[in-house]
Amino acid sequence: MDGLELKYDVTGAEARKGLWLQFVARRLRRTVLYTVILALLFGAELAAVIFHPENDFDKLMMMLSGTLLILIWLLPALARRRTARVMEGIDTDFTMTVYPDRIVIPQESGEYILCFADTPLAVTETPELFLIDPADGQLFLLPKRRLGEDAAALSELFKSGLEARYRKQGK
């Protein structure tokens, strides 16, 4: 079977949604765990500062834990926003060819090939887009608005090729 060649672009809203979904899939549990630990440390240090206001070490630890609490949520949010702005500013269309056993993405240095069997690849389908996450730090967003009837065929290709690594969210 020949591959399904797709040409598409990504809007800022689609990029923000896809980057958020990637954050949830990869980092949300860890970030929540760190938040709980830092909040407990902040609370303990706040109590220590209230009962022993002369202790400068407790004040320092309270400020550090509070700062880290803010930064572990702020820095990823700023990175997602910056990446979405960059993706939105790209004027050329992206190209991707999906085969029953792999995805081929042309790049300047050759082709980026994601084999379904050999790559720790996951695909999440939402009502608006396909999120292709090869688990190597990259992310490929494939908006459905440009796919038309190919969206259903693409969904079947991913479902049969990836099996348990294919997830559908929403409707």
Give the per-residue pLDDT at 63.
Answer: 97
115 vs 17, 103, 120, CA distance in Å? 25, 6, 9
Long-range contacts of 92-96 (CB under 8 A, 24+ apart): 92/9, 93/7, 93/8, 93/9, 94/7, 94/8, 94/9, 94/10, 95/5, 95/6, 95/7, 96/5, 96/6, 96/8, 96/140, 96/142
pLDDT at 66 over 70: yes
pLDDT tens digits, 112-166: 888 888 778 888 999 999 999 887 778 889 998 888 888 888 898 888 888 888 9
Give pLDDT tens digits for 18-61.
Answer: 999 989 988 999 999 999 999 999 999 999 999 999 999 999 99
**121 touches 132 (CB < 8 A):** yes
Pairwise pLDDT comparison (1 vs 129), residue with the higher score = 129
Strand partners, 97: 5, 104
pLDDT at 171: 66
Query: Has domain 4-10+90-168 been given CATH number 1.10.3470?
Result: no
Domain definitions of the chain by residue range: 4-10+90-168, 16-89
* pLDDT at residue 9 in the model: 87
pLDDT at 165: 87
pLDDT band per the 50, 70, 90 thresholds, residue 104? very high
**Can you tell me the mean pLDDT for 104-109?**
88
Q: Give me the pLDDT at residue 69, please.
A: 97
Entry pTM: 0.81
pLDDT at 1 over 70: no
